[in-house]
């Protein structure tokens, strides 16, 4: 007689996401699985291109933008009309190059959006309708050349008012090449940074931007032409991440319309281009990345999250030009370990992390779920120690229960009354901060570093897509810190390498209700004089007109 074997049910999407998270933790005892050797000469090409696509050279127009950094946070900037020249500025200030660097025989590009390991897995697409100077349809942005490659030209009419969307997709292999299984996390953090970069760039043009959060991955892929398998045959696949609706706040803005672009018409619309191959000889494969990627496709399934408390308006920000702050953003590689930052700058940096209905937090409708736990080393008038900034009153309660019972939870009286800053422990935590961030001195030499603790299992368990989205929130926090540090004459650095459960243990987090998703550090940078800085687009004139590129 045959015995019936009980079938093991397939894991749910949420189980796959949670299992991926668990297996890609670094710890003091072992790092997550990654390549054993790296040959830097074999690094995948950081620039995707589509051969056979018509290229439009974009003008360099950011010199014309007088918007101050302060105006990005308010409605006072002058809104630019939506034309190819302003689209060019939006792209330059978000995904464009900010400089080339040279050291001996090595030369590398830096971009306005940061990226773990400077590997840049994020690809950027533009969907345009009735934008003067730009054909209606889909374009791919090549940051190296500041050009748009035309992927699809729409045949039908696109309506009277100009509309614009930015789409992001990730080439996971670019990141996995160096970081192995943990790379999917970094790709999502990079997406959060890029989302923030677009929102700040839109602000420099007097515009707003909003994440379109409720569309299926199949629709995202179709809008970005990623479902056209033949165009990617034999090359690295791109995974569609998100779509951003650009809202030019011009006085003539049309009444609310569909938030998404129209679908393409396979029979009538005209597609061109084939993707280039980025790595001819990949040495490793990390199938777990494909699994978690598929499991976390989707979008928001729930209605808009709980709203944030009402905070007073942000204090006056830097009067510097927004474009200068954005183009000047860099990661510090070393910090002045003696420098003490001012309390005002510290408070402002934290204040900007609270979710107000201004840039960049108006980019989405989700309640804040990621809460910084700070390791304060040198801030004027503040005792060194561990501090918490619950970005939501409910999180305050939950964190008090989840973290070590002996933490003080002493409200910092010197902070602005609305700033939910609590001292948990007065201590010199430089050594601990350094160890927790994979022994990196940037975490102890900065004025402060932090761990972003996210509300986790209940949220991911309810909708696996939120695994990506929580990382985007952490990346957004990082982008605010980068730009605010820059505006204050300081500098930040994202830290993707940290020992997950060792951090949890140190803070007393015993369950997966909260998990650390990202670390960050801020301080006064020490620059390496051996490195030469070269212009982002040598030989290109500023303010030249858009035109066909060779
Ligand atoms: C998600 C993320 C993780 C990062 N992790 C680290 C890190 O662990 N250590 C480090 O020194 N830099 C880290 N960085 C900084 C990158 O190396 C840096 O962004 C990249 O080299 C590009 O330089 P730029 O930021 O000056 O443009 C990280 C950046 C991001 C966005």
Dist. CA 458 → ligand 1 center (Å) = 29
> According to the model, what pLDDT value does residue 543 have?
64
Alpha carbon distance 492, 484 (integer Å): 9
Q: 34, 100, 114: which to mutate for ligand 1, most atoms within 8 A of CB? A: 114
Asked if pLDDT for residue 324 goes beyond 50, the answer is yes
Residues 287 and 378 in one domain: no
Dist. CA 188 → ligand 1 center (Å) = 14
* Residue 257 pLDDT grade (very low, low, confident, very high; cuts 50, 70, 90): low
How far is residue 233 CA from its own chain's centroid? 28
- Atom 29 in ligand 1: which residue has the minimum CA distance? 116
Query: For ligand 1, what atom is nearest to the CA of residue 438?
Result: 8
Dist. CA 96 → ligand 1 center (Å) = 17
- Atom 6 in ligand 1: which residue has the minimum CA distance? 495
Dist. CA 480 → ligand 1 center (Å) = 14
Residues 369 and 237 in one domain: no
Alpha carbon distance 496, 57 (integer Å): 35
Asked if pLDDT for residue 41 goes beyond 90, the answer is no
* Residue 302 pLDDT grade (very low, low, confident, very high; cuts 50, 70, 90): confident
Asked if pLDDT for residue 251 goes beyond 60, the answer is no
* Residue 305 pLDDT grade (very low, low, confident, very high; cuts 50, 70, 90): low
Smallest Cα–Cα separation from 241: which of 195, 179, 273?
A: 195
Average pLDDT over residues 246-250: 82
Final residue in a domain of this structure, among 299, 315, 343: 299
Smallest Cα–Cα separation from 169: which of 239, 94, 273?
A: 239
- Atom 9 in ligand 1: which residue has the minimum CA distance? 495
Asked if pLDDT for residue 228 goes beyond 80, the answer is yes
Distances (CA, A) of 323 to 80, 248, 253, 465: 14, 17, 24, 33
Strand order in the sheet with 422-426: 410-411, 422-426, 385-388, 370-376, 448-455, 514-523, 491-495
Dist. CA 454 → ligand 1 center (Å) = 20
Residues 335 and 288 in one domain: no
Each residue's pLDDT tens digit, 398-411: 999 999 999 999 99
Residues 246 and 361 in one domain: no
Higher pLDDT, 160 or 22: 22
Residue in this structure with the two tokens 């009354």, named with its chain if needed: 417
Alpha carbon distance 187, 179 (integer Å): 11
> According to the model, what pLDDT value does residue 161 have?
87
**Structural domain includes residue 462:** yes
**Structural domain includes residue 16:** no
Residues 232 and 350 in one domain: no
Each residue's pLDDT tens digit, 455-481: 999 999 999 999 999 999 999 999 999
In this structure, of 140-144, 173-177, 352-356, 541-545, the range with the lowest mean pLDDT score is 541-545
Residues 277 and 339 in one domain: no
Residues 239 and 380 in one domain: no
Alpha carbon distance 191, 171 (integer Å): 11
Residues 435 and 507 in one domain: yes
- Please state, for a pLDDT cut of 70, what percent of the chain lies above it: 95
- Please state, for a pLDDT cut of 90, what percent of the chain lies above it: 85
Each residue's pLDDT tens digit, 521-539: 999 999 999 999 999 999 8
Each residue's pLDDT tens digit, 356-388: 999 999 998 899 999 999 999 999 999 999 999
Asked if pLDDT for residue 283 goes beyond 70, the answer is yes
> According to the model, what pLDDT value does residue 307 have?
58
**Residues 6+ away with beta carbon under 8 Å from 150:** 53, 54, 55, 56, 135, 137, 138, 139, 272, 273
Each residue's pLDDT tens digit, 424-435: 999 999 999 999
Asked if pLDDT for residue 201 goes beyond 90, the answer is yes
> According to the model, what pLDDT value does residue 7 have?
64
Dist. CA 20 → ligand 1 center (Å) = 22
Strand order in the sheet with 106-111: 106-111, 97-103, 532-534
Please list the alpha-helical segments (H only) found in 231-385: 287-295, 322-328, 343-351
Residues 474 and 346 in one domain: yes
> According to the model, what pLDDT value does residue 318 have?
86
**Structural domain includes residue 226:** yes
Average pLDDT over residues 135-146: 97
Smallest Cα–Cα separation from 149: which of 163, 134, 160, 164?
A: 134
Asked if pLDDT for residue 16 goes beyond 90, the answer is yes
Host domain of residue 288? 42-299
Residues 518 and 386 in one domain: yes
**Structural domain includes residue 306:** no
How buried is residue 7: exposed, middle or buried, by Cβ count under 10 Å (0-12/13-18/19+)?
exposed
The number of folded domains in the chain is: 2
> According to the model, what pLDDT value does residue 1 have?
45
Dist. CA 119 → ligand 1 center (Å) = 9
Dist. CA 492 → ligand 1 center (Å) = 9
Alpha carbon distance 414, 480 (integer Å): 23
Dist. CA 155 → ligand 1 center (Å) = 42
Asked if pLDDT for residue 252 goes beyond 50, the answer is no
**Rounded mean pLDDT of the chain?**
93
Residue in this structure with the two tokens 């369950």, named with its chain if needed: 511
Dist. CA 494 → ligand 1 center (Å) = 5
Q: 188, 468, 470, 496: which to mutate for ligand 1, most atoms within 8 A of CB? A: 496
> According to the model, what pLDDT value does residue 256 have?
55
| End-to-end Cα, the chain, rounded Å | 74
* Residue 269 pLDDT grade (very low, low, confident, very high; cuts 50, 70, 90): very high
Dist. CA 2 → ligand 1 center (Å) = 58
Tell me the CB-side half-sphere exposure of residue 541, using CA atoms within 13 A. 5
**Structural domain includes residue 198:** yes
Residues 346 and 210 in one domain: no
DSSP collapsed to 3 states, 434-474: HHHCCCCCHHHHCCEEEEEEEECHHHHHHCCHHHHHHHHHH
Burial code (b: 16+ CB inside 10 Å, e: under 16) for 420-450 equals: bbbbbbeeebbebbbbbbbebbbbbbbbbbb
**Structural domain includes residue 29:** no
Smallest Cα–Cα separation from 405: which of 295, 509, 521, 277?
A: 509
Cβ < 6 A, ligand 1 pocket = 110, 114-118, 186, 189-190, 193, 330-331, 440, 442, 493-497
- Atom 8 in ligand 1: which residue has the minimum CA distance? 495
- Atom 11 in ligand 1: which residue has the minimum CA distance? 333
- Atom 10 in ligand 1: which residue has the minimum CA distance? 495
Query: For ligand 1, what atom is nearest to the CA of residue 193?
Result: 31
> According to the model, what pLDDT value does residue 293 have?
98
Asked if pLDDT for residue 546 goes beyond 80, the answer is no
* Residue 308 pLDDT grade (very low, low, confident, very high; cuts 50, 70, 90): low
* Residue 5 pLDDT grade (very low, low, confident, very high; cuts 50, 70, 90): low
Asked if pLDDT for residue 317 goes beyond 90, the answer is no
CATH code, domain carrying 342: 3.40.109.10
Asked if pLDDT for residue 76 goes beyond 90, the answer is no
**Structural domain includes residue 34:** no
**Structural domain includes residue 182:** yes
Q: 99, 445, 494: which to mutate for ligand 1, most atoms within 8 A of CB? A: 494
Query: For ligand 1, what atom is nearest to the CA of residue 497?
Result: 8
Residues 377 and 247 in one domain: no
**Residues 6+ away with beta carbon under 8 Å from 488:** 318, 341, 345, 348, 349
């Amino acid at each position: 007689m045959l015995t019936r074997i009980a079938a093991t049910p397939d894991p749910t999407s949420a189980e796959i996401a949670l299992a991926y998270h668990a297996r890609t933790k670094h710890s003091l005892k072992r790092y997550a699985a990654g390549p054993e050797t790296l040959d830097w000469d074999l690094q995948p090409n950081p620039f995707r291109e589509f051969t056979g696509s018509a290229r439009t050279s974009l003008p360099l127009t950011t010199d014309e933008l007088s918007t101050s950094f302060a105006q990005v946070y308010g409605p006072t900037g002058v809104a630019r009309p939506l034309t190819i020249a302003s689209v060019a500025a939006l792209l330059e200030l978000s995904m464009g190059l900010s400089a080339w660097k040279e050291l001996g025989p090595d030369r590398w590009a830096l971009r306005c959006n940061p990226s773990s390991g400077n590997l840049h897995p994020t690809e950027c697409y533009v969907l345009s309708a009735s934008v003067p100077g730009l054909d209606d349809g889909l374009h791919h942005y090549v940051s190296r050349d500041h050009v748009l490659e035309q992927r699809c030209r729409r045949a039908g009419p696109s309506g009277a008012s100009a509309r614009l969307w930015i789409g992001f997709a990730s080439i996971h292999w670019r990141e996995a090449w160096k970081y192995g299984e943990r790379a999917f996390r970094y790709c999502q953090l990079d997406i959060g940074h890029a989302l923030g970069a677009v929102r700040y760039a839109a602000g420099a043009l007097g515009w707003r931007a909003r994440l379109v959060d409720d569309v299926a991955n199949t629709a995202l892929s179709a809008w970005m032409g990623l479902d056209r398998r033949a165009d990617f045959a034999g090359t690295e696949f791109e995974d569609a991440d998100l779509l951003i609706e650009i809202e030019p706040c011009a006085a003539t803005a049309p009444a609310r319309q569909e938030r998404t672009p129209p679908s393409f018409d396979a029979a009538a619309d005209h597609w061109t281009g084939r993707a280039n191959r980025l790595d001819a000889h990949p040495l490793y494969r990390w199938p777990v990345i494909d699994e978690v990627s598929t499991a976390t496709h989707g979008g928001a399934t729930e209605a808009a999250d709980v709203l944030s408390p009402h905070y007073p308006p942000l204090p006056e920000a830097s009067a510097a030009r927004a474009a200068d702050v954005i183009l000047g953003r860099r990661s510090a590689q070393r910090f002045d370990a003696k420098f003490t930052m001012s309390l005002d700058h510290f408070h402002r940096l934290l204040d900007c992390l609270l979710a107000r209905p201004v840039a960049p937090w108006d980019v989405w409708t989700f309640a804040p779920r990621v809460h910084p736990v700070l390791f304060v080393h040198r801030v004027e008038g503040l005792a060194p120690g561990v501090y918490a900034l619950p970005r939501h009153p409910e999180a305050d309660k939950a964190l008090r229960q989840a973290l070590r019972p002996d933490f003080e939870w002493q409200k910092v009286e010197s902070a602005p009354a609305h700033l939910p800053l609590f001292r948990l422990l007065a201590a010199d935590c430089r050594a601990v901060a350094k160890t927790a961030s994979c022994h990196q001195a940037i975490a102890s030499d900065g004025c402060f570093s932090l761990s972003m603790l996210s509300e986790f299992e209940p949220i991911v368990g309810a909708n696996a897509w939120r695994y990506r989205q929580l990382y985007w929130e952490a990346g957004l926090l990082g982008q605010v810190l980068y730009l605010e540090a820059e505006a204050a004459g300081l500098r930040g650095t994202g830290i993707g390498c940290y020992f997950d459960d060792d951090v949890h243990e140190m803070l007393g987090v015993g369950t997966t209700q909260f998990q650390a998703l990202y670390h960050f550090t801020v301080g006064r940078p020490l620059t390496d004089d051996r490195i030469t800085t070269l212009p982002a687009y040598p030989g290109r004139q500023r303010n030249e007109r858009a035109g066909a590129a060779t």
